[in-house]
Amino acid sequence: MSPRPPAEDEPHRPSTDDRPPAGHGPRAPGEDESRRPVGERFRRFRDGVSSGANESGVTPAAGRRRRRAGEELAVPPAEFTSYYGRPILKPPVWTWEIAAYLFTGGLAAGSSLLAVGGQLTGRPALRRAGRVTALAAVTASGVLLVKDLGRPERFHHMLRVAKPTSPMSVGTWILTAYGPAAGLAAIAEVAPLLPDRGPWRPVRRVLPPVGWAAGVAAAAVAPALGTYTAVLLSDTAVPSWHDAYPDLPLVFAGSALASGAGAALIAVPPRQAGPARRLAVAGAALELFGAHRVETRHGLLAEPYRTGRPGRLLRAGRALTAAGVVGALLGARSRVVSALSGAALLAASVATRFGVFHAGVASARDPRYTVLPQRERLQRRQAGEQDG
Amino acid sequence: MADPVSRPDPPVADDPATAAGWVDAPPRMGFFTDTSVCIGCKACEVACKEWNGVPTSGLDLLGMSYDNTGALTANSWRHVAFVEQPRPAGHPPAASTGAEPTARTEFLGMPGAAPPGRTGSADGRSDFRWLMMSDVCKHCTRAGCLDVCPTGALFRTEFGTVVVQEDICNGCGYCVSACPYGVIDRRADDGRAWKCTLCYDRIGAGMTPACAQACPTESIQYGPLDELRDRAAARVAALHERGVPEARLYGHDPADGVGGDGAFFLLLDEPEVYGLPPDPQVPTADLGRMWRRAGVAALAMAAGAVAAFLGGRR
Ligand code: SF4
Ligand code: SF4
């Protein structure tokens, strides 16, 4: 029992504070304010003041969040209980490298498809640009993926197993098949630079057919490379990624095509860039269709895609995609306009990938996205069981 | 939501060790954590750290009742949750019916020098109840972490438990996002994933896991899962009889979204009050459908590329 009635404590409290007396020791006025009273952190959290990760690396999400002007929440905030507002799930430990890889992987895939088309239809500039972009993008992908590991020196442990239940393992093998093919195809582009005499002569002769085969092989794997990343994200407990599994692959496929087309629009003279322009249209259509579904068909779990930073990124991506497509079509004769459109398409793909990435992270940080849909599912199941 | 009422494909046999290829596996072992007798002493947290050599989590006063651990992390493989719930004075918790809406968790300001609910006047007084629960890795029958691990670092033991091999894990972090309970975690300074091993070393030698051994109230019980499930059912029945209708089991049902937990619980409130997901599902339950959707998108990609080259002269 307290030797001192806690009521004595009252004058030291802010008058707006209506919580039950907790009985801290007496605090002299002017006492060191850095010694926060017990429960201070929780109350700050509860009042929605706290934001960002706290010391334990877990970000409590505010129960009530401010709405930004112009962002209507389609779903009214529902009541739910949680343990001090703490996230139930662990937010992904992946950092920006993975979001960037989503972009570079897609860029490589789109570029390889354009390269093989250029190769088969006699557009050497398109072929060359596609192959070189693909090699650069897949190299960047490898670096990003290894860098994101907790133990980068153990990256080769990925090659110990082939596990169909792990999209990351599947992706490892896709990259293992794709990387060397894309690399060989790009290396073959140096053939014309080699001397046609002496020891280099046979190399110069053999490279083009090797590059041809490698280009076809890379393109055959490219659609898998461009879309498996959607399964990589969806096959997690992260609510907004998991729930979006039917539609995310469309977004990623479209974004991959559009970014590949964007790179080609920058690198290829307009005369040979016709297919890239058409691919930009096709990719943009696929991406916008998929993104629309992601943002509208998933109830509460679509909210993270529309609000906050991810919402802004996805809107920016949409605007840039539209600008890029319009520029690519209208500026078909101008090298400068084409290149600018290409840059817009590349930027759009980056914004979309980071938007999708951060939407998932936000959904894992806030327990409401874990609790409410699961409660709803439970209720639906119980209702179904009662019906029959 | 595309497939809202999706249930996992038929649950794998309740014997995950055999399903994982073990021959003559011993009975599946697990934990039954009966929160109704937990006194919040945190002996389990300490014993686990001591036995497994888990690094400190740092001294951090979270202001969440007596819980300064916060959550299960790479450095906390047992976590005792403290929930403070105000109740109207004069009504023991037992008098409430399980049907009435759950009291919201409210922070009553403990620890403090005086018990909560003491105001000067008799009217303002309130009673409260304390829920304490020692949380741990659930060692799921269908474990998301295990399914997605791309290195094979996570594996199923002969006891049906799920363990990380620290010499294999390369810290890809996939398991962290795939656990529907938010259990497994990557250690910041070490880069690898860590979680409860159900004391694989101890149970292999026929001993009891450190936490269960240390628990002074037998809130944590260790044993063959079948036996634990029987014991738990009897305990719930006894509590219901004694007027605790809110007692319920969590994670005991082999038909749930993760095929049942190897470590399950008796709770006195809804799971989310303790920070547990109300209806967890292993993410890989939808994997077949996911690959099919990705396949459709991949075909669309290829078709788009073909159309781009055939669709015009230039
Ligand atoms: S609770 Fe999480 S970490 Fe433990 S076995 Fe299940 S999925 Fe894995
Ligand atoms: S972090 Fe380690 S244990 Fe977890 S999925 Fe990756 S390799 Fe497996």
Over the stretch B95-150, which tens digit does the pLDDT of each residue have? Answer: 444 334 445 556 666 666 566 655 555 555 667 788 999 999 999 999 999 999 99
- Give 3-state DSSP helix, strand, coil % of chain A, rounded to 5: 70, 0, 30
Smallest CA–CA distance, residue B210 to chain A, in Å, is 25
Do the Cβ atoms of B16 and B200 come closer than 8 Å? no
CATH 1.20.1630.10 fits A96-363, yes or no: yes
Regarding the beta carbon of B6 and ligand 2, being less than 6 Å apart is answered no
ipTM of the complex in this document = 0.87
- The confidence score (pLDDT) of residue A261 equals 96
Regarding the beta carbon of B74 and ligand 1, being less than 6 Å apart is answered no
Indicate the burial class of A79 (C-beta count within 10 angstroms; 0-12, 13-18, 19 or more).
exposed
Indicate the burial class of A70 (C-beta count within 10 angstroms; 0-12, 13-18, 19 or more).
exposed
Do the Cβ atoms of B30 and B223 come closer than 8 Å? yes
Q: Are residues A87 and B182, on separate chains, in Cβ contact within 8 Å?
A: yes
- The confidence score (pLDDT) of residue A79 equals 75
User: Which residue's CA is the nearest one to ligand 1's atom 4?
Assistant: B137
Phi, psi of A342, deg, nearest 5: -60, -45
More confident residue, A32 or A357: A357
Nearest chain A residue to B61 by CA: give it: A38
Q: Report CA dihedral (B229, B230, B236, B237) to the nearest 10 degrees.
A: 160
pLDDT bucket at B58, cuts 50 / 70 / 90: confident
- The confidence score (pLDDT) of residue A9 equals 38
Structure tokens at B117: 């609910």
Residue A27 burial (CB count, 10 A): 14
Whether the predicted pLDDT of A63 surpasses 50:
no
Mean pLDDT of B204-218: 95
Q: What is the pLDDT of residues A339-349, one digit of tens each?
A: 999 999 999 99
Atom of ligand 1 nearest to the CA of B178: 7
Atom of ligand 1 nearest to the CA of B196: 4
Regarding the beta carbon of B173 and ligand 2, being less than 6 Å apart is answered yes
Q: What is the DSSP string of B104-170?
A: PP-----S-SS-TT--SSSTT-EEEEEEEEEEE---BSS-HHHHH-SSS-EEE-TTS-EEE-TTT--
Q: Are residues B293 and A380, on separate chains, in Cβ contact within 8 Å?
A: no
Number of H helices, E strands in chain A: 12, 0
In chain B, where are the structural domains located?
16-88+124-281, 283-314
Ligand showing the shortest atom-to-Cα distance for residue B260: 1
Whether the predicted pLDDT of A24 surpasses 70:
no
- The confidence score (pLDDT) of residue B3 equals 42
Whether the predicted pLDDT of B251 surpasses 80:
yes
To test the contact with chain B by mutation, choose from A112, A120, A231 the residue with the greatest count of B C-beta atoms within 10 A, namely A231
Do the Cβ atoms of B141 and B261 come closer than 8 Å? yes
Percent residues over pLDDT 90 in chain A: 70
In chain A, where are the structural domains located?
96-363
Structure tokens at A75: 């779903």
CATH architecture, domain B16-88+124-281: 2-Layer Sandwich (3.30)
pLDDT bucket at A224, cuts 50 / 70 / 90: very high
Phi, psi of B167, deg, nearest 5: -85, -5
Q: Are residues B191 and A238, on separate chains, in Cβ contact within 8 Å?
A: no
Phi, psi of B194, deg, nearest 5: -135, 150
Alpha carbon A283 to chain centroid, angstroms: 17
Q: What is the pLDDT of residues A301-310, one digit of tens each?
A: 999 999 999 9
- Is residue B48 part of an annotated ligand binding site? yes
- The confidence score (pLDDT) of residue A222 equals 97
Q: What is the DSSP string of B55-111?
A: PP-------BTTB-S-S-BTTBSEEEEEEEEEEETT--GGGS-TTSPPPPP-----S
Q: What is the pLDDT of residues B154-167, one digit of tens each?
A: 999 999 999 999 99
Smallest CA–CA distance, residue B129 to chain A, in Å, is 15
Smallest CA–CA distance, residue B241 to chain A, in Å, is 25
From chain A, the residues in CB contact with B108 under 8 A are: 20, 22
Residue A289 burial (CB count, 10 A): 15
More confident residue, A369 or A37: A369
Residue for token pair 């334990």: A56
Helix (H, G, I), strand (E, B) or coil at A15: coil
- The confidence score (pLDDT) of residue B11 equals 45
Q: Are strands B263-267 and B29-34 parallel, antiparallel or unpaired?
A: parallel
- Is residue B44 part of an annotated ligand binding site? yes
Q: Rounded to whole angstroms, what are the CA distances from A12 to B73, B111, B182?
A: 37, 19, 40
Whether the predicted pLDDT of B10 surpasses 50:
no
Q: What is the pLDDT of residues B175-199, one digit of tens each?
A: 999 999 999 999 999 999 999 999 9
Indicate the angle between helix axes A274-296 and A96-120, nearest 10 degrees: 140
Alpha carbon B141 to chain centroid, angstroms: 12
